Amino acid sequence: MPDPSEQSVVPAKTGAQIVAIREGADGWGVVTILSPDGAFQKEPCLRCPWRRDSPVGAFPPAVFRLSASTTYDLATNEFGCHGSKRDEPKTCAGFLLRGAAHNATVRMYGPDIAEVSSPYPLYDSYREMAIANGVAADDPVLAPCRDSRLSLPDMATVVADQTAATVSRAQRLIRDFIVESAGMDLGEAMTADAMLLAGRLGAAGHLAVPGRDDHPGDTTALALIRKFIVECAGDDLGEDATELAEQLRRHLASAAVLVGGVYEPIVINQGGS
């Protein structure tokens, strides 16, 4: 096995970095790679162990034991494609289709399962695949493995849950900002106003929802917030309304709630809504 200290950083287009190498058996091992790229296979590769038509025993049981944690509940590590390179790692398509239902990274950040498919028959679960490749059925490492698949309805549910959570978080941030700006808490009235603005931002595609690739419309987040402030005040306060809107926009963007980050270079009509 290579010395991990000699491969702590891999020169790569993606910025991939080897963070661990664990020995398995017969010269095989499991390499853990940190990659900001998020690349994935769209269908199982030629050697994919998730394929039922792949030769059983091509990889020793030890490596299946080491990788079992990728299918544990709320796991953050993913099962990598055996056909990808160390300096350009990709998430395995078989894993996405049969083992990622409860993986936290996949649930929160994707990819969109609609982009992944398999023309080959796949094992129904990690447990089934591991047992077929020599891991004992009663091996403790398999006990926490979650078996359910990530189907299209499941992904839609995940995105809906993430959307609701993001809108709720935006609503709390907006309400806190309103209370601080007003110097008083008017209870349910402020809660309703905050929910209204959060809903508008979400409907316009301005909220950063994990797993959802939104494309905001022509109306900017700043313009929506400014219009909301004018409605609440019952009057257009001119530059004061614009400044307050920008403060709230930055507050939301700094909390990673808005799409596009903190800066939003636009020109806004000071006198209109």
In a domain, 35, yes or no: yes
Mean pLDDT of 140-157: 69
pLDDT given for residue 5 in this prediction = 31
Q: Is the per-residue pLDDT at 60 higher than 50? A: yes
Number of domains the chain is built from: 2
In a domain, 266, yes or no: no
pLDDT given for residue 271 in this prediction = 44
pLDDT given for residue 212 in this prediction = 66
Same domain, 17 and 60: yes
In a domain, 202, yes or no: yes
SS3 146: coil
DSSP classification of residue 212: -
In a domain, 21, yes or no: yes
Better-scored residue on pLDDT, 220 or 34: 220
Q: Is the per-residue pLDDT at 144 higher than 70? A: yes
Same domain, 39 and 138: yes
pLDDT given for residue 18 in this prediction = 46
pLDDT given for residue 127 in this prediction = 92
Same domain, 90 and 11: yes
| Rg of the chain on CA atoms, in Å | 24
Q: Cβ distance 132 to 49 under 8 Å?
A: no
Better-scored residue on pLDDT, 13 or 100: 100
Nearby residues of 190 by Cβ (< 8 Å), 6 or more positions away: 175, 178, 179, 182
Same domain, 15 and 98: yes
Same domain, 85 and 126: yes
Q: Which domain holds residue 79?
A: 4-150
Q: Is the per-residue pLDDT at 94 higher than 80? A: yes
pLDDT given for residue 136 in this prediction = 92
Same domain, 16 and 136: yes
Same domain, 25 and 69: yes
Q: Mark which of 107, 133, 150 sits at the end of a domain.
A: 150
In a domain, 272, yes or no: no
Same domain, 146 and 162: no
Same domain, 217 and 139: no
Per mean pLDDT, which of 34-38, 172-176, 219-223 is the most reliable?
A: 172-176
Alpha helices in the chain (DSSP H): 61-67, 93-98, 104-109, 126-132, 152-182, 188-203, 221-233, 239-254
Encode pLDDT of 1-16 as tens digits.
Answer: 333 333 332 333 345 4
Encode pLDDT of 178-197 as tens digits.
Answer: 888 878 787 788 888 888 89
Better-scored residue on pLDDT, 109 or 148: 109
Secondary structure of 87-104 as H, E, C letters: CECCECHHHHHHCCCCCH
In a domain, 261, yes or no: no
Cα distance between residue 19 and residue 9, in whole Å: 8
- With 0-12 CB in 10 A as exposed, 13-18 as middle and 19+ as buried, what is 6? exposed
State the chain's mean pLDDT as an integer.
76
In a domain, 270, yes or no: no
Same domain, 118 and 51: yes
Same domain, 91 and 125: yes
Better-scored residue on pLDDT, 238 or 95: 95
Better-scored residue on pLDDT, 59 or 197: 197
Nearby residues of 64 by Cβ (< 8 Å), 6 or more positions away: 49, 129, 130, 133, 134, 135
pLDDT given for residue 157 in this prediction = 65
Same domain, 120 and 30: yes
Q: Which of 100, 207, 215 is nearest to 158 (CA)?
A: 100
pLDDT given for residue 51 in this prediction = 92
Q: Is the per-residue pLDDT at 149 higher than 60? A: no
Mean pLDDT of 81-85: 79
- Helix 152-182 to helix 239-254 angle (10° resolution) is 130
Cα distance between residue 121 and residue 129, in whole Å: 12
Q: Which of 140, 120, 35, 119 is nearest to 77 (CA)?
A: 35
